[in-house]
Amino acid sequence: MRPPQQWLRVVKPSADPRARIVCFPHAGGAASFYQTWGPFVPDGVELRAVRYPGREDRLLDPLARTMEELVAPAVAECLPLLDRPLALFGHSMGASVAFEVARRLQEAHGARIAALFVSGRSGPGRESVPEQSYATAPDHELVRHLKELGGSETAALDHPDLLELVLPAIRADYRIVEEYRADPAGTVLDVPVVAYYGDADEDVDAGSAAAWAPVTRASFTARAFAGGHFYLADHQDALLRDLLSRLGVPAAG
């Protein structure tokens, strides 16, 4: 694994930020997934995205094999950012990574983030268990599943050369998701938690989103948007307006 200072990409810089947001991609996703968020984030808010190994400009880096290999470098990267209010946002697998990072920051470092935003992921204990392992499924079955979910990476699935590049990272991430279970005896957060989900997502509904409530002693809110698992691709403006409002920051424009 590379040194942790290379795990974050600055999507929207700010010389003197009043707040920072760090975004965690979904399984198979990359930092570029959040590139289109920049115009919706106002000046004065710094936006960063996690660069998982084995994709994009980290294509040659060894893939992570466990949740810990994603969490530990992200924690080290976030620690220097806590001089300003820091919020974490994670979609799908990224929600679990962001949650574990928030837990570790509080438990091991006594650091409290401004808020945790989880998206497209059922709360601990309510995670959906696939009938088969997508980490080991034949290529055609994994590709079919990915196309059903949607998302920005689906264009690569019809190109054999690109498919050869992206499938290893996707399989590695799915293995992490399939093996991961949140520790029910782990640290309870002291920060607001907001769960977002698509109302047509087959794996997340109001009940499973509400399962995030016990992870915090502070406030919990769940909000649904129209759409499936990748609802956020169609609701960037509304999602970010909601997120920023909870941080007390007006959206851009």
pLDDT at 203 > cutoff 70:
yes
Q: Specify if 23 maps to a domain.
A: yes
Six token digits for residue 56: 């994009």
Average pLDDT over residues 124-129: 81
The reported pLDDT for the residue numbered 250 is 82
Q: Specify if 99 maps to a domain.
A: yes
Catalytic residue among 26, 96, 122, 229: 229
Average pLDDT over residues 97-110: 97
List the domain range (segments joined by +) for residue 63.
4-127+184-246
DSSP states along 21-81: EEEE--TT--GGGGGGGGGGSPTTEEEEEE--TTSGGGTTSPPP-SHHHHHHHHHHHHGGG
Q: Specify if 68 maps to a domain.
A: yes
Q: Are β-strands 8-12 and 45-50 bridged in parallel, bridged antiparallel, or unpaired?
A: antiparallel
Q: Specify if 192 maps to a domain.
A: yes
Annotated catalytic, 109?
no
How does residue 149 score in pLDDT terms, banded at 50, 70 and 90? confident
The reported pLDDT for the residue numbered 150 is 73
Q: Specify if 145 maps to a domain.
A: no
Query: Model pTM?
Result: 0.93
pLDDT at 175 > cutoff 90:
yes
Q: Specify if 98 maps to a domain.
A: yes
Query: How many domains does the chain divide into?
Result: 1
- Highest mean pLDDT: which of 17-26, 147-156, 242-251? 17-26
Q: Between 205 and 129, where is the model more confident?
A: 205
The reported pLDDT for the residue numbered 213 is 98
The reported pLDDT for the residue numbered 47 is 97
How does residue 3 score in pLDDT terms, banded at 50, 70 and 90? very low
Annotated catalytic, 26?
no
Count other C-beta atoms under 10 Å from residue 62's C-beta: 12
Q: Specify if 251 maps to a domain.
A: no
Q: Specify if 150 maps to a domain.
A: no
CATH of the domain at 42: 3.40.50.1820
pLDDT at 205 > cutoff 50:
yes
Catalytic residue among 92, 119, 122, 208: 92
Would you say the C-alpha torsion 167, 168, 171, 172 has a positive or negative sign? negative
Name the nearest CA neighbour of 46 among 74, 76, 73, 78: 78
